[in-house]
Amino acid sequence: MSENIVLTKLRLVEGVWHGSLKHHGREADWKPNIEVTHLDFPVDGVVVEEDRVEEAWRVSVPIPTDRIADGVQTFVIRDRGEDLLLGSFSIVAGDALAEDIRAEMSLLRAELDMLKKAFRRHCVETANH
C-alpha cells in the first residue's frame, strides 16, 4: 500500500460495503480507478464518487448475492491506475465456520484448565518451601 493513498472502511450495510479513499498530497485532477475482485473475478456495480467536503472519494461495493457462501469470502480492492492494492474486506458465514469456532473454543478451554492446574500446583509447591 502507498503511504499517500489510504482506504478506510466506513460501514457495511444492506449488502453494500462503504469506504473512504484519500490521496494525501494528490494532484487536483487525480481520480481513482478502482477495481474490486472476488476470487480473481471483477465485482460489478462499484461506485466511486468525489466528496469535495471531506476531500475524499466515497467507494461503494455492492456484494453480489451469488458471491456469499460458507466460509470466508474475501474481496480485494485495488487502484488500476496506480497498480496498487488498497485493501480488502471479508464476509464470514456458514455452519462449517461455527464448528471451527466451537472446536477452537474447546481447545482454548482445555489449555486454560491445564494452565490453572499447573498454576495451582506451583502455588502449593512454593507455599511449602
In the chain, what percentage of residues exceed pLDDT 70? 93
The rounded distance, in Å, linking the Cα atoms of 58 and 46 is 10
The rounded distance, in Å, linking the Cα atoms of 82 and 27 is 13
Q: How far is Cα of residue 110 from the mean position of the Cα atoms in its chain? A: 29
pLDDT tens string 10-36: 999 999 999 999 988 766 678 899 999
| pLDDT given at position 18 | 98
Mean pLDDT of the chain: 88
The rounded distance, in Å, linking the Cα atoms of 40 and 28 is 32
Fold of 5-93: Immunoglobulin-like (2.60.40)
| pLDDT over 60 at 1, yes or no | no
The rounded distance, in Å, linking the Cα atoms of 59 and 89 is 13
Per-domain residue ranges for the chain? 5-93, 94-129
Q: 29: left (phi > 0), else alpha (psi -120 to 50), else beta?
A: alpha
Confidence (pTM) = 0.71
